[in-house]
């Protein structure tokens, strides 16, 4: 983490649940480390699988103090999500920050054009990569108070054609739309039961991680991205994490339903 921005305590005492750490390359880890550096109390949920649990625990154990809350949750299962939030309530009471840094599509969907994607693969990709945000917000909402912040992770393939992204691009487009609807619904407007919870997504440039390696061609994507973007270099997990601190904190109190790009300006360069 860059020393220039660490230690501001912008999130002192805020309680954050981060979902999607599998190892120290995970974008979720870049986010968690930055939230913790700014004073947040960070807990974790991992995908229930022995190897993933081992890796996640080894990674998040680097935090000082060590996280108290590390629980399993398959976001494809409503009962797992309900149990996770019930457990969070027991341990932490309220929830201030929810980070959704999760995506999945079956191997059979990668390298297959959208045109040839099976119904089953399509539904699974959309279920885990977008519907899960809706299901998590529904269970998290009763634990959240005005000023709460939900942050999801997206990619610009939702807006433009990227030949290797295929069904995941469709899932990201749906996720971004869910971000806007959830922002309107959880913000609450003038309703009496207004929650005042903000919902945003970060659209990151390509970063080598376990998930992006599964999409394929990640090294070529990073090279192309760096050659074309405004800064002439890749973006990294730490830069995404620092933007997450902004979205989680009062600094962004008027920002909701937005897709915030951490892509070094790649998306608007035409030539
Ligand atoms: N790496 C990139 O280039 C890039 C760019 C933009 C957006 N993103 C997005 O960032 C997010 C995090 O991905 P990453 O690149 O850090 O990869 P990653 O492999 O580190 O993280 C993906 C996480 O999703 C979790 N997951 C998958 N299925 C799950 C399930 N059923 N239940 C619970 N958890 C499940 C995995 O366990 C893993 O922790 C994803 O939404 C991804 O699409 C990544």
CATH number at residue 98: 3.40.50.720
* Ligand 1 binding residues, C-beta < 6 A: 20-22, 26-28, 47, 52, 73-76, 101-104, 128, 153-155, 204, 206-207, 209-212
Residue 10 lies in a domain: no
Residue 9 lies in a domain: no
Is 181 part of the annotated catalytic residue set?
A: no
Residue 7 lies in a domain: no
The reported pLDDT for the residue numbered 158 is: 98
Q: Which pLDDT tens digit goes with each residue over 133-186?
A: 999 999 999 999 999 999 999 999 999 999 889 999 999 999 999 999 999 999
Distance CA 70, CA 271 (A): 46
Distance CA 217, CA 173 (A): 21
Written as one string, the DSSP assignment of 150-213 is EEEEE-GGGTS--TTTTHHHHHHHHHHHHHHHHHHHHH-TT-TT----EEEEEEEPP---HHHH
**In the predicted structure, residue 233 carries a pLDDT above the cut 80:** yes
The boundaries of the domain holding residue 246 are: 15-265
Q: Which phi-psi region, left, alpha or beta, contains residue 218 (left: φ > 0; alpha: ψ -120 to 50)? A: alpha
pTM listed for this prediction: 0.97
Q: Give the other-Cβ count within 10 Å of 189's Cβ.
A: 8
Residue 51 lies in a domain: yes
The region of weakest confidence among 2-16, 44-58, 62-76, 159-173 is 2-16
Mean pLDDT of all residues belonging to the chain: 95
Name the 3-class secondary structure at 97: strand
Is 122 part of the annotated catalytic residue set?
A: no
The strand pairing partners of 99, in sequence order, are: 18, 151
How far, in Å, from the CA of 153 to the mean position of ligand 1?
A: 8
The reported pLDDT for the residue numbered 190 is: 67
The region of weakest confidence among 79-83, 105-109, 246-250 is 105-109
Q: Which of 122, 155, 261, 266 is catalytic?
A: 155
Q: Which pLDDT tens digit goes with each residue over 177-196?
A: 999 999 999 998 767 667 89
The reported pLDDT for the residue numbered 8 is: 79
How far, in Å, from the CA of 102 to the mean position of ligand 1?
A: 4
Grade residue 3 by pLDDT with cuts at 50, 70 and 90.
Answer: low
Written as one string, the DSSP assignment of 120-164 is HHHHHHHIIIIIHHHHHHHHHGGG--TT-EEEEEE-GGGTS--TT
- Nearest residue (by CA) to ligand 1, atom 26, is 102
Name the 3-class secondary structure at 63: coil
Residue 3 lies in a domain: no
For ligand 1, mutation pick of 209, 238, 243 (most atoms within 8 Å of CB):
209
The strand pairing partners of 150, in sequence order, are: 98, 199
Residue 270 lies in a domain: no
Q: Which pLDDT tens digit goes with each residue over 83-130?
A: 999 999 999 999 999 999 999 999 899 889 999 999 999 999 999 999
The reported pLDDT for the residue numbered 216 is: 78
The reported pLDDT for the residue numbered 111 is: 81
Q: What angle is formed at CA 184 by the lines to CA 183 and CA 190, rounded to 5 degrees?
A: 130
How far, in Å, from the CA of 78 to the mean position of ligand 1?
A: 19
Looking at the structure of the chain, the number of domains it has is: 1
Q: Which atom of ligand 1 is nearest to the CA of 129?
A: 41
DSSP H or E stretch at residue 44: strand 41-46
**pLDDT above 70 as % of the chain:** 96
């Amino acid at each position: 983490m860059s020393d220039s921005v660490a230690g501001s305590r912008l999130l002192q005492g805020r309680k954050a649940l981060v979902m999607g750490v599998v190892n120290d390359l995970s974008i979720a880890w870049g986010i968690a480390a930055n939230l913790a550096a700014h004073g947040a109390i960070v807990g974790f949920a991992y995908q229930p699988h022995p190897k993933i649990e081992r890796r996640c625990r080894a990674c998040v154990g680097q935090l000082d103090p060590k996280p108290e809350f590390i629980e399993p949750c398959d976001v494809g299962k409503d009962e797992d999500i309900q149990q996770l939030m019930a457990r969070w309530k027991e341990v932490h009471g309220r929830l201030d920050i929810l980070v959704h840094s999760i995506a999945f599509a079956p191997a059979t969907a990668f390298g297959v054009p959208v045109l040839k994607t099976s119904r089953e693969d399509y539904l699974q990709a959309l279920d885990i990569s977008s519907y899960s945000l809706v299901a998590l917000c529904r269970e998290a909402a009763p634990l959240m108070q005005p000023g709460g912040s939900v942050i999801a992770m997206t990619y610009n393939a939702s807006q433009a054609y990227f030949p290797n992204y295929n069904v995941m691009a469709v899932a990201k487009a749906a996720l971004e739309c869910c971000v806007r609807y959830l922002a309107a619904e959880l913000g609450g407007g003038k309703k009496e039961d207004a929650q005042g919870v903000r919902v945003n997504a970060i659209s990151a440039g390509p970063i080598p991680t376990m998930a992006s390696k599964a999409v394929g061609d990640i090294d070529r994507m990073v090279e192309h991205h760096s050659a074309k973007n405004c800064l002439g270099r890749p973006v990294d997990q730490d830069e995404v994490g620092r933007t997450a601190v902004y979205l989680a904190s009062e600094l962004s109190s008027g920002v909701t339903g937005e897709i915030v790009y951490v892509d070094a300006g790649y998306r608007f360069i035409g030539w």
